[in-house]
Amino acid sequence: MSSLYTHKPLTPFRRSVARFSFSETAKCAKLTRGLWIGFAIPSALDYPDAAVALAASTMLTLALGSSISAARSYFYQRVVSNAVAMPLGTLLIWLTAPHLWRGAFLLPLVIFAIVRAKPSLFRMTSITVPMTLVLYTGEHLPLLEQRLIGVVLGMSLGFIIQQVAFPPDHGYWANTLVNEGNEQATEAISRLTSGSLARQAIKPLTANLRNTSTNLKQAHDLLKLDLEQAWVSMHLKRNRDRLPLFYGYREVFDSLVNFLETMDTFHDQFAALDVEWKAAFLAGLNRLVTAHRQLAEVADLRVERPGLARAPIEMEELRQLVSVLPAPGVFASVYLGHLTGYGILLCNLAAMQSGR
């Protein structure tokens, strides 16, 4: 199983492309490309009246679809909203003509009833625009056709661009966050075990690690959603098997955030603990952070390394570490609980990365 978590590092070029794919510059490049293509296609087909709607729909898909799955979801909702709202709204205007006020009164009631019946298929922000546009188009069928053609083709074009032109590489982002989180976590715990972690430094270290963990959750969730699509880019498949690993490291980071918050809140109580108990506690914590460094080194894909020959820490060793730390009081129990939780999560990662 360890082969699942050790693949060759990306070349410098592929790494730069992956880094570029989820940057603001990439979003601007895709939006610009969508605008150009959206205008070029209707013009080339001698149908310039549809250019604005086509280009606008293309850019909306790219702007609001931050991932392949998000672009697909927005594509479905906006196409369905327009394909239902505009024909129904136009039909309602025809039936109430020439009394426009009747149509204007009934239109929102009809449309919102449809939205309420199937909220998963309709996007409120998408359905309100065609709902008001039908008051303008009225009986002008060509305007209705232009709107529908522009929306359907434009959304399709935007989705294709999102799939093909620099689709966000959430797997690369997750790997980067795993590396950053491991560096932040091991630095904080190492400073704690060496006695060099000042109380005023705990909050910024905790904030950085919490931010990394939050971003890792987002990258993990976006990658998982994108991998559920019918057609998946190769760069996403590359990190499919690392999804459990990303989740495991996120759990470790969250656990250490809670530990550091406890250390900050009950710093004085920790300082007042028995000297021998505290020394044994820090020695056990130092053993865990050593194992964490070994796991982090193998999880780092920036440099090609052999996989783990054996797990750097196992449950039996963790039991021995905990057994020499009887908890003489409430605060000792709290800190022992954090050490145990950290150790269990590291054991799970060690088993995962070593294939045991």
Q: Which residue has the higher pLDDT, 171 or 114?
A: 171
CA–centroid distance for 293 within its chain? 25
The yes-or-no verdict on residue 207 having pLDDT over 50 is yes
pLDDT at 124: 66
| 273-286: pLDDT as tens digits | 888 899 999 999 99
pLDDT at 62 over 80: no
Q: Which pLDDT band holds residue 3 (cuts at 50, 70, 90)?
A: very low
**Whether pLDDT at 270 is above 50:** yes
Residue 139 has pLDDT above 60, yes or no: no
Q: What is the C-alpha to C-alpha distance for residues 132 and 346, in angstroms, rounded to an integer?
A: 57
Q: What is the DSSP letter of 228?
A: T
Question: Torsion angle, CA of 122/126/129/130, rounded to 10 degrees?
Answer: -50
Does the structure show a pLDDT above 50 at 318?
yes
Band of residue 2 on the pLDDT scale cut at 50, 70, 90: very low
More confident residue, 41 or 96: 41
Confidence check: pLDDT of 349 > 90: yes
- Lowest pLDDT segment from 80-84, 169-173, 335-339: 80-84
pLDDT of residue 216: 96
| 92 within 8 A of 101, measured Cβ to Cβ | no
Query: What is the rounded distance in angstroms from the CA atom of residue 276 to the CA atom of residue 78?
Result: 65
Of 107 and 259, more confident: 259
| CATH code for the domain defined by 170-354 | 1.20.58
Average pLDDT over residues 158-164: 76
Q: Percent of the chain, pLDDT > 90?
A: 31
- Residue of 262, 258, 264, 257 whose CA lies nearest to 211: 257
Provide the pLDDT for residue 185.
96
* Per-residue pLDDT tens over the stretch 15-60: 887 787 777 787 788 888 888 888 888 888 887 777 877 887 787 7
Confidence of residue 116 (pLDDT cuts 50, 70, 90): confident
pLDDT at residue number 245: 92
Q: For 283-297, b where at least 16 C-beta lie within 10 A, e where not — what string?
A: ebbebbbebbbbbbe
Question: pLDDT value at position 129?
Answer: 67
So what's the pLDDT on residue 1? 39
Model confidence at 141: pLDDT above 70 = no
